Amino acid sequence: MSVKKLLNLPHDIVHHDSNAIVWSENEKSIFRVFFIYVLFLCLPLSPKFYEYLINIDWATFDCRDLFVVATARHLDLISIANESGRWGAAGYLELLLPLILSIPIAWIWGQFECNNANYNKLNYWIRAIARYRLGIGLVAWGYRKLLPGQMVLPTIGVLNTPMGDFQAQKLYWQAVGITPGYEVFLGFAEFIAGFLLLFRRTTTLGSALGFVVLLNIVIANHVYDGGVHLHSFYYVILSLFILWPDVPKIWNLIHNETNSQLKRFYPVITNNWLKYLRISLKFITFSVFVVLFFFMQVADYVFTPYRIPDTPGLQGATGYYKVSEFKLNGEDIPYSPLDSLRWQDAIFEKWSTLNFKVNRLASIDQSNGGGHSEDDFDRKWEVAGMGGGRRSYYYEADTIKKILHLRNKNEGHTHEKQILHYSRPDENRIILTGINEFNDSIYVVLDRQKRQYQFENHYAKQ
């Protein structure tokens, strides 16, 4: 097909007569099912969503709160706590169950339907709901990647963790995180698809682009156990629903290289107040979820890291440390890679995280790294999707009394706490003394080591 033919697509055939496009009985039956199903998907019916809205502090409303509103999704009718429900195929029941429920509801609708039911108008409004729901969601996710914060550069702790201790999801997200240019490209593709969906004339192009981009994301999330495969597949369903009536015409254009005109029905609004209401809603939607959201996202990106804690760590302490001496309850414990209590190394991140390695397996943190919370403890990029023996503790530092109050960031070990006094004989040595997570007395001497990494890591800079 020539580029000229692609660039000179025919205009839509627009109908304002509600009876201009005729529906068969089979088409009506199928439409009733998907009309109800799409309503289930688009309307925020989950109690958790409204609980979140009620608890929002509107005085400090920020882009994280707006992101939750923009990406609110389907019913939480079922929750499967096992691995398949969290990461695998069983989780798709959450999207399948509303479809199953839609079938009997659609049948009842058909039994009591009036003869003058107007399917062209119903189709117009459900497509409008779907494209705005999808468009707003894609713009929100696009902004999160355009200003690369969804997948970030590896922390010092991540760089010093063996490859075998990473979940597949962590490896995939981290591979994207070390290539910010690719993440920005993905964000641009999502944003453009969402932006096009906000306008009637570009709906087909936006849904087609969204379907292609999102299907790729679904495959990656599913194969790498991303934990968000349901959310991305939810968008694929909406994209396909919007695109489906135009698929035969698109195939005819691309495969047969013949012009095809898309049939559209747009209702005529005669009441002035309805005209003004429609324009006002479009203006508010665009102003809030495109314009305002962008500036709020920029401010968040510049001033408040999305997945990385914001509280500065001990001044001048950032780096990788060798454990030169370790005492447990007053007894000197020599280095052994097999010891389950002796630290093998330690890392002070640029923010308020201390992590160390021991020969004791931790449960894998199943979160996706947090980000919605303003609480540094809940920003868990450094521990999400990681197991093995590396422990990461968030700490609050009393710089007057020189005490660190530590709490394990792994969601399976948050009960583990330590209280350690610290002293710094010189700029490269830190001595820790106090009580560990097992109420044992420990004495730890840490000496900072210089380490070179394969690429520049600004998190390692002091």
- What is the per-residue pLDDT across 389-432, written as a single tens digit (0 to 9) for each? 899 999 999 999 999 999 999 888 989 999 999 999 999 999 99
Q: Give the pLDDT confidence of 335-355 residue by residue, as tens digits.
A: 999 999 999 999 999 999 999
Say if residue 385 is exposed, middle or buried (CB neighbours under 10 Å; 0-12, 13-18, 19+).
buried
pLDDT in tens, 54-88: 888 888 888 888 998 898 865 566 666 666 666 66
CA distance 74 to 335: 52
User: Which residue has tokens 């304002």?
Assistant: 16
> Over the stretch 292-310, which tens digit does the pLDDT of each residue have?
999 999 988 888 777 888 8
Classify strands 13-15 and 263-265 as parallel, antiparallel or unpaired.
parallel
Alpha helices in 71-177 (DSSP H): 83-87, 93-111, 119-146, 156-159, 168-177
Residue 73 has, within 13 A of its CA and on its CB side, a CA count of 21
Task: Decide which of 2.60.120, 3.30.1540, 2.40.128, 1.10.260 is the CATH code for 319-460.
Answer: 2.40.128
Task: Give the pLDDT confidence score for residue 83 in this predicted structure.
Answer: 62
Every domain of the chain and the residues it spans: 3-303, 319-460
- Judged against a pLDDT cut of 50, whether residue 5 lies above it is answered with no
| Amino acid 356: pLDDT | 96
- Alpha-carbon distance of 462 to 459, in angstroms, equals 8
Which tokens is 169 given? 């999801």
Degrees, nearest 5: CA angle 9-13-19: 160
Q: Measured between alpha carbons, how far is 36 from 100 in angstroms, rounded to an integer?
A: 11
Asked which of 224-228, 323-327, 423-427, 442-446 is least confident by mean pLDDT, the reply is 224-228
Nearest to 139 by CA among 192, 206, 202: 192
Q: Can you give the pLDDT at residue 166?
A: 87
pLDDT of 163 reads 85
Q: Token match 């510049």: residue? A: 302
Confidence of residue 221 (pLDDT cuts 50, 70, 90): confident
36, 106 contact by CB (below 8 A): yes
Q: Could you write out the DSSP letters of every residue in 56-93?
A: --GGG--HHHHHHHHT--S-------SHHHHHSGGGGH
